[in-house]
Amino acid sequence: MSECACGGDKNKLIYCCSGASDVGEISDKVARKLSALCFGKMTCLAGIGASLSGFVESAKAIEENITIDGCSVACAKKSLEKIGAKVKSYILTDMGLTKGQTPPRDIIVEDIVSKIMGGKK
Ligand code: SF4
């Protein structure tokens, strides 16, 4: 799990799909950057997928679960919704990225991070 000096905003958990595609890779980089900037605390989507009680209970108890998905299949969003957790969803292909045509460059990651931190979709 990614940590920063302040531990992140304790009222927000950040999940990314970490998919195999380019946009999936970008989702992972964006989540790590947001966590490093203390926008929230990155945690593990796999813990939700595996139905591990600690992860599931944390997701249900938190004020805001932020999901960052590479594409509109929305694996992270659906995983959280499936357990009844509250979700604020960001889908990178809805934010202007094209799956299969977007190399995971730093400038793209920074742009998405800025949009999310600025509250834009
Ligand atoms: S949301 Fe899209 S990119 Fe992410 S894991 Fe699912 S199918 Fe792959």
Quote the Cα angle for 18-99-77, to 5°: 45
Ligand 1 touching residue 69 (CB < 6 A): yes
Ligand 1 midpoint to CA 70 (Å): 5
Ligand 1 touching residue 30 (CB < 6 A): no
pLDDT at site 119 = 79
Neighbours of 58 (CB within 10 A): 17
- The pLDDT profile of the chain, 121 residues, written as one tens digit per residue, is 444 455 567 789 999 999 999 999 999 999 999 999 999 999 999 999 999 999 999 999 998 999 999 999 999 999 999 999 999 999 999 999 999 999 999 999 999 999 999 975 5
* Ligand 1 atom closest to Cα of residue 99: 3
pTM for the structure as a whole: 0.92
pLDDT at site 94 = 98
Ligand 1 midpoint to CA 10 (Å): 26
**Structure tokens given for 58:** 């944390």
Q: Which residues pair with 65 in a beta bridge?
A: 13, 87
Q: Domain extents for the chain? A: 12-117
Q: Tell me the torsion sign for CA atoms 44, 48, 53, 58.
A: positive
